[in-house]
Structure 1
């Protein structure tokens, strides 16, 4: 859950924690320069009460908590002037205006996604992908295009993925997975019934899986091993296109690929040079 949403909902908060949360919301622009002693004094609480609240929301201490709040506050301020993710342009917009709006939408989508990255989940997902023997990508519609792009990148580091739902035989693909493989579900809504069915089976068979979604309440979350969630102001149906969500997914998949690459950076660079030699001046030259 996003940090500002959690502070706003105040689920299971004590009276003291609610007072701290209310003060934070009232003073978001000044949080980056706020010391814990000042926050404690302003809210008539203690250092330990603030740290307990931070830990309740998943942060190790005040510094991590403060950094996440600052990033979220910045993203919120940018969102106030952000382009509508569902209808980013109007009928009378000029070409330049549309281009500017779509550029802004892409930048905002990436910045918003970045603020929601869980470093622990991201790192664990990359390590999971690195050790898996076979990788199966479960994605439909526009998300399948992102899956294909990711598949293409993986070839560059000698790792091959299958688009499980490409030819309508996803059940066959799912049946062939083993605990040494990994399934990746890419779905903005994260509510596809077949995905839920497959994820349930994978969990029962101890087959690792990763979810990339825009739904923080997706039923796939408790069924998957790792989750990368990027909540964006994009509806499921009432929209011109899936601009924001697909930019976010591309960004997350590019980040995963980069993490895979750096796990064996020197080897991948040497292999790149060897392959370029084969294709440019060697026996695999095609031009």
Structure 2
């Protein structure tokens, strides 16, 4: 995960660690040259507290932490001008400017998602879906569009996912899941009441569940077998559209599908050739 994102999320941070991370984020320009004793003095903490924070973020010590923080800060500073994820264009922008800003927004969203992606969680989630008897996807609104895109890709490897909330049948579908199946909940806020209800049920009945969310504090995470997190600078309501969050979700789901495909790459490739022959030149052709 990106060191800047980790400092912003402050997951499992003590109050002391929160104070240190908040100071660092507010004074990034000072971080390349600051001494640990000076950082401790400015945050009213100690050398050991700063080192513990660095180690919590998987760095050996303050020097490694400082080096990575500096590199990432410089890279961020040299990126193209930041586009507001909530209002990426204005009424006075030209068509060319709007298209450039939308491209920048999507690129930034995917880069951010890639930096945050836990590849161990991704691999385990892909394995879970590959081994499951059935896949049930719980998602609403824009996220259900991403679910349908993922559902469409799964057909290419002979897996057929059920959109559990398609006809308001989420409770019936949830009741039908067994420990041999897998539930995939896609929700940026991760606080929808029905999702919390089914997640609690799945956890209690040991039904495998994967959660894809943009909320590190989502109550769904503690119930999940595996979770995939992508935090974007997008508000819940005050925005033109869900551009960044949905671009990030699409990227994560594409990555999930790709890992599933790679599990048995040669078999899927051979199957692709056989199916293409049937559809393009065989009895299923529509030419």
Classify the TM-score, shorter chain.
0.7 to 0.9
The answer to whether 1:5 aligns with 2:8 is yes
Alpha carbons of structure 1 residues 78 and 178: separation in structure 2 relative to 1, 3 Å: farther
The answer to whether 1:177 aligns with 2:177 is yes
User: Are the counterparts in 2 of residues 122 and 256 from structure 1 also a CA contact under 8 Å?
Assistant: yes
User: Are the counterparts in 2 of residues 75 and 112 from structure 1 also a CA contact under 8 Å?
Assistant: no
User: Are the counterparts in 2 of residues 4 and 69 from structure 1 also a CA contact under 8 Å?
Assistant: no
TM-score by structure 2 length?
Answer: 0.83
The answer to whether 1:258 aligns with 2:258 is yes
Shift of 1:129: 1.2
State the match for 2:43 in structure 1: none
TM-score by structure 1 length?
Answer: 0.83
The answer to whether 1:119 aligns with 2:122 is no
Alpha carbons of structure 1 residues 151 and 70: separation in structure 2 relative to 1, 3 Å: farther
Q: Secondary structure at the match of 1:92?
A: coil
**Matches of 1:29 and 1:115 in 2, distance apart?**
23
Q: Secondary structure at the match of 2:177?
A: coil
Unaligned 5+ runs, structure 1: none
Q: Secondary structure at the match of 1:162?
A: strand
State the match for 2:160 in structure 1: 160
Shift of 1:229: 1.1
Give the alignment of 1:194-233 within 5 angstroms.
194-233=194-233
Unaligned 5+ runs, structure 2: 41-45
State the match for 2:104 in structure 1: 104
Alpha carbons of structure 1 residues 136 and 61: separation in structure 2 relative to 1, 3 Å: farther
The answer to whether 1:267 aligns with 2:270 is no
**Matches of 1:221 and 1:203 in 2, distance apart?**
11
User: Are the counterparts in 1 of residues 212 and 229 from structure 2 also a CA contact under 8 Å?
Assistant: yes
Calculate the aligned-residue CA RMSD, in Å.
Answer: 3.3
Shift of 1:4: 2.3
User: Are the counterparts in 2 of residues 8 and 21 from structure 1 also a CA contact under 8 Å?
Assistant: no
Q: Secondary structure at the match of 2:267?
A: helix
Shift of 1:282: 1.1
State the match for 1:151 in structure 2: 151
**Matches of 1:24 and 1:139 in 2, distance apart?**
34
Alpha carbons of structure 1 residues 247 and 130: separation in structure 2 relative to 1, 3 Å: same
